[in-house]
A and B are shown apart, each in its own frame.
Chain A
Amino acid sequence: MNLSRVGAIVLRMYYLYRGSPQRVFPMFAWVAVDIVLWGFITRYLNGVSQSGFNFVPTLLGAVLLWDFLTRVMQGVTMAFFEDVWSRNFLNLFATPLRTSEYLLGLVTASILTSIVSLAFMMALATGLFGLSFLSYGPALVPFLLVLFISGMALGIFAAGLVLRLGPASEWLIWPIPTLISPFAGVFYPVSVLPAWMGVIAHALPPAYVFEGMRAVIRHKAIPWSDLAIATGLAAFYVVLACLFFASVYRYAIRTGLIARYSAETVT
């Protein structure tokens, strides 16, 4: 692993963001819309509910955490798409750059952009709607860790999918978080799901996070063992996603797909 090569991928993303407000804008805009929308929904629910239940940490917190996972995934895929759109694969992969260095570069770039988004979301949710992250206690750290690793796995998987199916498959990957969210129990306990959905939910690391989040809010003990399972599952999916990407990369090298991303002919 050569850190200079990893740094090159990160530096490239920094240059792109530095000179492009249109790339920076989505880091704040869409999360702000989500926070404001769900902030008012929770405020309304708190007003009409007779139970005295505080919806802010349950719903608004869930939105924030789910947006974080989405941001991490999109951070990886957006960095990958920069190479798709600029038809840069031939330039990149005809160099000493290893696929592991390339992926680590994409993930590192994603860490930086998603942390900025997270900080902004937290500031907005706390400032406007009084969401206190202290209510999650020390569990917030594993929550974010599991979601981060899960987002990373989704991002790498999505990048592999686009590399395999071509740039036109872009539309396939954006809805991935939306497709997962009903199973992940973002806004409701997994117990309300039908049995078959529950089985899928237990294979999804984010489901453990949102279950854990609701447990913490109800002043129950932090489910450390569940969070450990979630971390293990998320790490497993990252390994699977990397293997998938590596397999697609080998296929692309064997068939000339990598070269075709830059030139339409291979002979």
Chain B
Amino acid sequence: MSPPSRPSSLAPVLKVERLSKSYGALKAVDAISFEVAPREIVGLVGPNGAGKTTTINMVLGVLAPDGGKIEIEGVDLKTDRTRALSAANFAAVYAPLPGNLTVEQNLRVFGMIYAVKNLSARIDDLLKEFELERLRRTKTGVLSSGEQTRVALAKAMLNAPHLLLLDEPTASIDPAMARTLRADIEAFAKRGCGVLWTSHNMYEVEEVCDRVLFLSRGRILLQGKPHELVAEHKAKSLEDLFVAVAHETLHGEGAA
């Protein structure tokens, strides 16, 4: 995988300030603020309905916030959406690539949308990296869910993004491939990409993420390094902490 060409600046690749979104009376996201630095993998976790996907959709520019500000690489998403999104990419289990195009065709179409230079060579590299070469001319719709996830991740890497948004990236792939992909994404992050990673797999989050944001009812309840959070809250693991926070939230007691 070729490295993203980013400067060694420590300025955040993603800066979210007091982001809010309501659906009628329901506050899906309630004035949350966070940053993702270059080379950092930030886990966005929380129970169903916590506001994770709403947050990701707002960062992707497909959902307008009611308030707040999103900057990608210092570019305001609201004022220059095209430039901001040129530096980002995403993969989500609920957004499969068109099944009626082959793997290569999908990568070519999205490569052109991201105006990727030397696209053919880039596609070849990604097909090799994600072990998709033999599936190059296979329609994406007939692939197994694990293979489709790999194609979606290859698409997400096409433009060597500086911000990568991953929503349950390993949800439907086998443990061996999941481990390989985690290693790939960690390596990709080390080269300068900031990653916002949503997952319900707390072992994975604990292993991969440098920092975790616990989201519940649209608010960030806890944030910090996974092992520090576990120690601070005297939990056995991040999963135990997640369950405790989710339980407290469910019963309206809040969390520390």
Contacts and interface: CB of A to CB of B under 8 A. Distances in A.
Physical interaction between A and B: yes
Interface of A: 2, 4-5, 7-8, 11-12, 15-16, 19-20, 82-83, 86-98, 250, 253-254, 256, 258-259, 262-263, 265-267
A267 B28 contact: yes
Given A11-B109, A16-B100, A16-B101, A91 B95 contact: yes
**Interface of A: prevailing SS:** helix
Given A86-B100, A92-B113, 20 more contacts: A2-B115, A4-B115, A5-B112, A5-B115, A8-B113, A15-B101, A16-B100, A82-B100, A87-B95, A87-B96, A88-B98, A91-B98, A93-B61, A96-B82, A96-B115, A98-B82, A253-B63, A256-B23, A258-B62, A262-B94
Interface in B90-120: 90, 92, 94-102, 105, 108-115
29 contacts: A4-B115, A8-B111, A12-B98, A12-B101, A15-B102, A15-B109, A20-B100, A82-B100, A87-B95, A88-B97, A88-B98, A90-B57, A90-B62, A90-B92, A90-B94, A90-B95, A91-B95, A93-B61, A94-B61, A96-B82, A96-B86, A98-B82, A253-B63, A253-B64, A256-B62, A258-B63, A263-B53, A266-B23, A266-B57
Interface residues of B, number: 40
Chain B interface, DSSP helix/strand/loop, else mixed: mixed
B112 A259 contact: no
Interface string B18-29: 000001001010
Given A265-B53, A266-B23, A12 B114 contact: no
Give the residue among B61, B63, B102 with the most A Cβ atoms within 10 A. B63
B90 A94 contact: yes
Contacts of A11: 108-109, 112
